[in-house]
Chains A and B, each alone.
Chain A
Amino acid sequence: MRRTTVLVVLTALLLAAGLWSGASAQQAGRSNTLRFVLSQNLVTLDPANLGFAADRVVAQNVFSGLVTFKPGTAEVIPDLATRYEVSPDGKTYTFYLRKGVKFHKGYGELTSRDVKFTIERYKDRTQSRLVADYAPVERVETPDPYTAVFRLRTPFAPLLSTLGWQSGFIMSEKAVRELGRAITTNPVGTGPYVFESYAPGNEVVLGANRDYYGGGPRIEKVVLKIIPEEMVGILALQRGEVDMMPLRTVGAWKLLKSSPRFQVIEVPGIWMDYVMFNVTRPPLSDVRVRRALAHAVDWKAMEEFYSGLAELNPSFQPKTVFGWTKDVPTYPTDLNKARALLAEAGHAGGLALEIQSRKELMFDQLAVLVKDWWAKAGVQGTILITDAAGELAKINPPARNYQVHVQGLSRLDPDHYYAPFLRSDSTTNYMGYAGADDLIDAQRTAPDAKTRRQVLLQLQRKIAEDLPVISLGTRKSLVVARQGVAGITAISYAGVVIFRTAHFAGN
C-alpha cells in the first residue's frame, strides 16, 4: 500500500514537472524557423526513386534540376541550366549549365559530369524506378564542364517536363559514390535548403543554403513535422505549433477557407480524380453502359462535395497541363438517359457492379458518392475496400480482377497521363483500353508544340468519347498558413511548397 502511494505521488510529480517544462519550452526558440506539416514518413530521397508524397516536399527544396516549372503552372523555365537549345529534328538537347553552383555539404561544384552521371543512374534499372522516363535518351555528352548534350533515339516531347519535374534532380557523383545507400536519407543537392536531420515519426529538419545560386532563402530553418492525421495538423496550426500545412480534404478546407486567422494559398492543381472501368469484361466492355454510368453521376452534388477544393473537368488531363481542352463530349446528369442506355445495352432490369477503392485521399468518399448516385439509375454498387497493395494486385493487368475503380493521378506532362495508363501495352494500363495508341505516340514524338497540341485535342476527345474512365475533377493545390507568413510559393503538385521565398512578416 505504501509503495503504491509512493508510485502514485512520483507519477503525479513527473507529470507536473512535464507540464511545467513543456509550458516553458513553448516560449523559447522559434525566431526564424518555419514549421510545416508532412503527412507521412519519408520513404526515399533518392531522386531516381522519387514519387512518394512526403519525399517530394523535401526533394523539391533540397535538389534542383536543369529546368523547373514556373510555380502554379506547367511552364518549363531554366534552373541549373541557364539556357537550352533543341535541335530542329528534336533529337538533340543542349543544356548550358550555370557556373559556380555548389553541392551541399562540401561536395564541390556541379559540372556536366554530374548531369551525365545522374541521367545514367536514372537509366540504370538496378538503381532507378524511373527507367521508362529516360528510355528515349541514348546518351549524355559532356563537351566541357558546363555543357551537357542529350542525344535522343527518337524525338521525345516530354523530355523537358520530365527533367523539370518527373525526376531530373541532379545528384552529385561524388556524394553518391561516397555515401552509397545512405543517400536515401541523406540527400546532397544544390537546392535552397540543406537536409539536416530526419527522425522517423517526428520531424525532418532543413537548413538554409547560404550558397544557393538563386540567393539565400530568408527562413533560416524549416522543420517538417510528421503528422499523418490532417485533423491533428489543423489543431496544431490553430494552436500555433506549426505555421503552415497543405490542405487535403474537404473537411479541412471547409473549416479553414474563411477563417480570418489563416490565409489559404490556392494554386491550380494537377491532381485528377477518376472513376476507371475495366473495359475488358462485360458489362463494362459496352461503351453504352459506361456512358450510362457517366450520365448517372450527379455533377451538381459532385461540385457541392468538392465545395471549391476541386473543379469539375471533363478531360482526362488537368487544365494546367499542356494542351488541355474542355471541348470534349460530356455526360450531363440525366437519369432517364442513363436508364435508356442501360436498357439498350440489355440491362433494363438493373445491374450490379463492384467498386474497388481504398481509404486514402478521399477515394473511399468518392466511391460512396458514386455508388449512391448510380443506385438511382438502377445500378447496385458494392464498395470493396483494400489497402493500396491489395488494390494493385486486383486491378493490375493482365488479370484486371475488378469492375470499377476510383483512382487519382498527379503529373505535369500530358504524356505522363496518357502513355502509362491508356497505351495498350503498358503494364499500368489498368483499364485495358486500347483505342488511342497512335494518338499517344503521335503527341509523344511531335516535333513542335503546335502539332502536339493538335494531337492532344484529338486524344482528349477520343478518350471522352470511348470513356474508359470518367474524369470527376481536378483538385487544387492548397496550402494554409497562419497570418504573418508571407511569400508562400505553392506548386501545382498538391502539398509541395517552395520554402525559399517564404518569410515572416516584418522580418
Chain B
Amino acid sequence: MHAYLARRLLGSVVTIWIIVSASFLIIRLAPGDPAQIWLGDYATPDLLQVTRARMGLDRPLPVQYLTYLGSVMRGDLGESLRSRKPVAGEIRDQLPYSLDLMVTSTLLSVAIGLTAGVIAAVKRNSMVDVLAMSVALFFLSIPAFWLGLLLFILFSAHLEWFPLIGAGNRASPANLAYHLVLPTLALGSRIGAVVARMTRSSVIEALSEDFVRPARAKGLSEPRVWVRHALRNAATPILSIVGIQVNALMGGSAVVEAVFSRPGVGNLLIVAISTRDYPMVQGAIFLIAVGVVLVNLLTDVAYGLADPRIRYA
C-alpha cells in the first residue's frame, strides 16, 4: 500500500508538472498581447514596450518558463498582470465559493442518488423504480444552465424563496446554505442522477450474485442483506462514478456560477482567459489540476477501502 501510494504520488507530481508546462504554453498560443489589452485605446509604441517589460513578457520564452517553474516550486504562483496582486491571493478569495458549491453538490447528490438508487433496485420494476429512474433521466438530460435558469426564475424571482444575488455571508453557515440551495440543485442534480442510475444497476447486479442467497438463508433481515452485501459490492463502481463526476463538477461550476452571478474560480478563469492574464490562467489551471489529481488519488484509495479484493500491486 505504501509503495503504491508513493508511486501514485510521484505520478501525480509528474502530471501536475506537465499541466503547468502545458498551461504556460497554451495560453501563450491564444492570439492577443496582454500588454496591449491592458493599454487598450491608450497604447503607444513606447508604452507597449514599457508595459511588456513590466509584465516580464519581453524576455525569451524559455527564460519566462524557467522563472515561472522556479516560482511555482517555491509555492509562488506569480502576480496578476492586471490587478498586480498575487495570483494565490486572488484565487484564495474565490476558492471558498467554488468549494462550498462543489461540496454541497457532491454531498447532496450522492446522498439522494444513493438512496434513490438502492430503493429503485430493491423495488425493481415497481412504480417507485420507474418514477425514480424517470426523474433521474430527466435530470441527466437537462442542461445545468437551463435548469439553473428555470430554478432561478421560479424560486428566486417569482416565489421569492431564495436569494437572487450573492454567495452569502461566510460568517453564518445558515445564510451560506440559504444562498447555496439553488446553485446546488442546478449543479448537483446531474451527478445525483448519474449516481442513482449507477447505484441501481450495481445493486441489482450484486443482489443477483450468489453470496446474497446464503446471507438470506442465514436469516439476516432484508435491509441488512442490502447494506451488508449488496451495497458493499456495489461500492466500487459507484465510487468511480462519483470520482469522475466530481471532476465534471469543476467544469459545470463555471456555468452555474455564471447563471447565478456567483463568484468562484470558474468565473475567475474565464475572465483571466479573455484578458490574457497569463499568471492568473496558469494559477487557476494549476489549482484545478491539483484538485482533479487529488480527487483521482482519493477515489483510488477509497476503492481499496471499499473493496478488499483490490490489491495494490
Chain B residue, CB-CB nearest to A181: B84
* Across-interface contacts of B45 in A (CB, < 8 A): 427
* Across-interface contacts of B42 in A (CB, < 8 A): 51, 129-133, 420, 428
Which residues between 1 and 29 of chain A lie within 8 Å of chain B, taking CB atoms? Answer: 1-2, 4-5, 7-8, 11, 14-15, 17-22, 25
A153 interface residue (CB < 8 Å to B): no
Chain B residue, CB-CB nearest to A132: B44
* Across-interface contacts of A41 in B (CB, < 8 A): 271
Give the interface residue-count category, chain A: 35 or more
* Across-interface contacts of A20 in B (CB, < 8 A): 174
B181 interface residue (CB < 8 Å to A): yes
Inter-chain contact total with CB atoms closer than 8 Å: 177
A229 interface residue (CB < 8 Å to B): yes
* Across-interface contacts of B160 in A (CB, < 8 A): 239
* A131–B47 CB distance below 8 A: yes
* Across-interface contacts of A5 in B (CB, < 8 A): 115
* A11–B107 CB distance below 8 A: yes
- Please classify the interface of chain B as helix (H, G, I), strand (E, B), loop, or mixed, using the class held by over half of its residues: helix
A389 interface residue (CB < 8 Å to B): yes
The contact string, 1 if C-beta is below 8 Å from chain B, for chain A 479-504, is 00000000000000000000000000
Give the interface centre of B34, B54, B160 by most chain A CB atoms within 10 Å.
Answer: B160
Which residues between 71 and 103 of chain A lie within 8 Å of chain B, taking CB atoms? Answer: none
Q: Among the listed stretches B126-134, B164-172, B293-301, which one makes contact with chain A, having 4 or more residues with CB under 8 Å of it?
A: B164-172
CA distance A284 to B258 in the complex (A): 39
* Across-interface contacts of B44 in A (CB, < 8 A): 131-132, 427
Which residues between 239 and 261 of chain B lie within 8 Å of chain A, taking CB atoms? Answer: 258-261
* A18–B181 CB distance below 8 A: yes
Which residues between 368 and 401 of chain A lie within 8 Å of chain B, taking CB atoms? Answer: 386-390, 392-394, 396
CB contact between A394 and one of B31, B39, B84 (< 8 Å): that residue: B31
Q: Among the listed stretches B2-10, B16-24, B223-231, B302-310, which one makes contact with chain A, having 4 or more residues with CB under 8 Å of it?
A: B223-231
A228 interface residue (CB < 8 Å to B): yes
Chain B residue, CB-CB nearest to A167: B42
* B165–A126 CB distance below 8 A: no
Chain B residue, CB-CB nearest to A203: B166
A309 interface residue (CB < 8 Å to B): no
* Across-interface contacts of B43 in A (CB, < 8 A): 427-428
* Across-interface contacts of B112 in A (CB, < 8 A): 8
* A126–B54 CB distance below 8 A: yes
* A19–B178 CB distance below 8 A: yes
A232 interface residue (CB < 8 Å to B): yes
* A44–B177 CB distance below 8 A: no
CA distance A14 to B85 in the complex (A): 36
A200 interface residue (CB < 8 Å to B): yes
Which residues between 93 and 120 of chain B lie within 8 Å of chain A, taking CB atoms? Answer: 93-94, 97, 104, 107-108, 111-112, 114-115, 118
* B41–A389 CB distance below 8 A: no
Q: Among the listed stretches B56-64, B206-214, B262-270, B282-290, which one makes contact with chain A, having 4 or more residues with CB under 8 Å of it?
A: B262-270
* B258–A229 CB distance below 8 A: yes
Give the interface centre of B107, B163, B227, B231 by most chain A CB atoms within 10 Å.
Answer: B163
* B267–A201 CB distance below 8 A: yes
* Known interface pairs A235-B156, A235-B164; A389-B263 also in contact (CB < 8 Å): no
CA distance A388 to B276 in the complex (A): 10
B204 to chain A, nearest CB (A): 16
B125 interface residue (CB < 8 Å to A): no
* Across-interface contacts of B46 in A (CB, < 8 A): 125, 131
* A420–B263 CB distance below 8 A: no
CA distance A199 to B170 in the complex (A): 12
Chain A residue, CB-CB nearest to B153: A235
* Across-interface contacts of B231 in A (CB, < 8 A): 1
Counting from the closest, the 10 A-B pairs by CB-CB distance are A201-B263, A18-B178, A389-B32, A18-B177, A22-B178, A21-B174, A393-B31, A387-B274, A7-B111, A17-B174
Give 18 pairs: A residue, B residue, CB < 8 Å, sorted on A.
A11-B107, A11-B111, A15-B177, A17-B177, A18-B178, A19-B181, A22-B175, A126-B54, A133-B42, A225-B166, A226-B263, A239-B157, A388-B275, A392-B37, A393-B32, A396-B36, A420-B42, A427-B44
Query: A residues bordering B, Cβ < 8 Å?
Result: 1-2, 4-5, 7-8, 11, 14-15, 17-22, 25, 41, 43-44, 51, 125-126, 129-133, 181, 184-185, 199-203, 225-229, 232, 235-236, 238-239, 241-242, 386-390, 392-394, 396, 409, 420-421, 427-428
Give 4 new A-B contacts, CB below 8 A, not counting A22-B178, A232-B164.
Answer: A132-B44, A225-B166, A236-B164, A428-B42
